[in-house]
Amino acid sequence: MIAAHNNQAMKILLIEDNPADARMIREMLADSLDFFDLQWVELLSRLPECRNGAPFDSVLLDLNLPDSQGIETFDTVQARLPGIPIILLTGRDDEEAGTHAVRRGAQEYLVKGKVDAETLARCIKYAIERNRLINELRNETKEVEESKQRLHSIIETNFDGFVIVDQQGRVQFVNPSAMKMLDCKKPGEIIGTPLGLPVVSGEKTEIELISHNGGSVTAEMRAKDIQWAGASAHLVLLHDITGQKKMEENLMRLATVVEQVDECILITDTKGNIQYVNPAFESVSGYESEMVMGRNPRLFQSGKQPEVFYSRLWNTITRGNVWKGRFTNKKKDGTLYEVEATISPVKNAAGDITNYVAVKRDITEAQKTQMQLRQAQKVEAIGTLAGGIAHDFNNILTAIIGYTEISMQQLPEDGPIKSNLDEVYNAGNRAKSLVKQILTFSRQANEERVIMQMKPVVNEVLRLVRSTLPTTIEIRGNIAGRTYILADPAQIHQVVLNLCTNAAQAMYEEQGLIEVGLEDTELDGAFVAQYPEISPGPFVMLTVRDTGCGMTDDILENIFDPYFTTKTLDEGTGLGLAVTHGIVKSHAGLITVASEPGKGTMFQVYLPSVKHHSEGQTVKRQPMPRGSERILFVDDEAALVNVGKKMLSNLGYRVETRTSSHDALNIFKSDPGGFDLVITDLTMPHMTGDVLAQELVKTREDIPVILCTGFSKRMTEQKAKEIGIAAFLMKPLIMRQIAETIREVLDNRQTSANRYITSSERQKR
């Protein structure tokens, strides 16, 4: 491509297959034109598209190209680049072809070698100027035609009808609009016939014209005496007011809508003085219209928005713009409510602002619903986050609890370090329970109900709460209940914690007392008659009493509703008591509340007791089962591999470890009979634990696999069982738990049709 660039360059397209000719033409142009931009293409197929206006001022075209010959070349270029002047510049001096091309629209026909630079430049300039003049003439002609059409359209579509009648009332002239109103198709149908209307000069009359098809036109008729064809006559003007009548009806309909709509509508003058309010405004605000007429809307300001807020609002509407937004208003009785408003300027025909109209909607309840939705979304987000946290945290707890257990086994029972490690171990188990609670709350873990005592859970919560309460709040516990319940420990922990937290918040930053009691009780028929959802019998009763601010009856009616809260946004979500109520109900229990403003609140939770075989018995803890089999332990975290090896070695097992699932599979394949059991983590890079287990089984069908995970949405105990996993364990791994699981898996295999042979026996064979 040959090109020269300048901001004021003449844009020229050269279509020429001969590079030497192209260079020559470029040099000629350079000698004769001050500025030009030459774009060169060798083939017609490379012709640029012409879109959204002409990209070139002129085209220099060689008719004979490798991919197109003769006049067809010109036709193609003209079609592809419409409106751009084309100058034929060819090596053949063919006068007939040149004349033919000029007749078809070419600007010039020039022969290479017979044209000098000045001639070429002049032809280009003349072609561009000629094309400009043609376009201007074409545009002017088009404008004249459009003006004539507009004038004709104005005459033909005049809304008013003009009729001229003589002194005898006969029609002498009628325009198209009048013909339409008088229900005639041609002037000849009515010219010379009586108009049939009472014509009185100087009077304005409203008439109704009925057509043959039953339609009607309402018109305003006026008449004036005139001279027509040398004689006295009347000019009758028929102004169609059918639309005006309909508009009046629409205005009446609109007024009815404004009066009956639920949205508050308020109209002010340009100074902001109220001129109109609709009944909905009266209903919402509590002000009658007479009380606010002539007053400024600042009467309703709540003080929640700063002055700059209203200044910006006023600046927006006084500039003629529409303001949309939300603010807090105050009712006549002082109640605050949230408003969503659109305030618009009302302009007259001249564009001047005459009024402002505000359309307001009470969104107090809608905002509460929106807040509830946001809180639900936060809870959902917490649930999503909880799964990832649980996986990593349970891995950490596995190392903490595991090394603690190993260390405890190596110390004497009565040593001080052993006592300290007991606390570490207990704290690790509490952390394990806490992770489970988070997963349960976020619906990431299945509910697991076991026969349990509430006493340890309540004591644990009291220890936790004491560490977080300010010194101004005292907490006392009277934990006496010993019977058992069927419940999810994590959910019971949440119930106790929610009630204690709620009690603490009732007297935060003030002195107060929280009393927590747990006792066994028997509910008789008289008591349960008040609460048909429970049955008589033995129950465990949890009592949480505080000396806080107490609650009024209207608050008590709603405390168990989701998202209902008297707290600020940074103090709570309104979910705590709702969740507590749901948990208690799901456990076939009952929760009651008694409160009085200024005297505190008491919650009582009743959960049904169940029989337990160990009641009244002392259960002797059995020693942890041991073994000597060979185990392959796989986890991608080195810390967990190390603690796992030490735990299993302390139990007597021979342990081989790997941190890569591929390495584990390779070592197993190298000696399939050398292992009695494989324990593998689920979540590992490159190959997950469940896939590894399936590959192991392909190598040796009877190899038992225990699958472990800190958290997984996709894998459950049931799914693990379906793919042949012998046992499914949740981290953190407790030594007793893994010891009992290993023995159970291996012993079951050994008794299964006498098929199982240990690795030691295999080596002997």
Alpha carbons 285 and 295: distance in angstroms, whole number = 14
CB distance 36 to 68 below 8 Å: no
The tens digit of pLDDT for each residue in 629-669 reads 999 999 999 988 998 899 999 999 999 999 999 999 999 99
CA separation for the pair 14, 1 (Å, rounded): 10
User: Averaged over 556-570, what is the pLDDT?
Assistant: 60
C-alpha to C-alpha distance for 203 and 197, rounded to whole angstroms: 13
Please answer whether residues 519 and 480 qualify as being in contact, where contact means their C-beta atoms are separated by less than 8 angstroms. Answer: yes
Tell me the C-alpha distance between 648 and 670, whole Å: 23
198-221 residue pLDDT tens: 888 888 888 888 876 777 888 888
For 48, which DSSP code?
P
From CA 720, how far away is CA 728, in angstroms rounded?
A: 7
Burial readout 218-233 (b: 16 or more C-beta within 10 A, e: otherwise)? bbebbbeeeeeeeeeb
pLDDT, tens digit (0-9, with 9 covering 90-100), for 422-470? 778 787 777 777 676 666 555 555 566 788 899 988 988 888 888 778 8
Task: Give the pLDDT of residue 438.
Answer: 66
Report the mean per-residue pLDDT for the chain.
Answer: 83
| Over residues 296-306, mean pLDDT | 91
Of 344, 345, 347, 327, residue with least CA distance to 336: 327
pLDDT on residue 568? 45
The residue count of the chain comes to 765
564 pLDDT higher than 60: no
pLDDT tens, 389-434?
Answer: 777 777 788 888 888 888 887 787 777 787 777 778 787 777 777 6
> Which among 436, 430, 428, 402 has a CA at the least distance from the CA of 640?
402
Query: Distance of CA 754 to CAs 675, 750, 757, Å?
Result: 17, 6, 8
Name the pTM for this structure. Answer: 0.43
C-alpha angle with apex 703: 698 to 704, nearest 5 degrees?
Answer: 125
226: its two tokens:
């005139």
Is the pLDDT score of 616 beyond 60? no
- If you count DSSP H runs as helices and E runs as strands, how many of each does the chain have, helices first? 22, 27
pLDDT for res 331: 92
- CB-CB contact of 656 with 675 (8 Å): yes
Higher model confidence: residue 382 or residue 744?
A: 744
% pLDDT > 90, the chain: 29
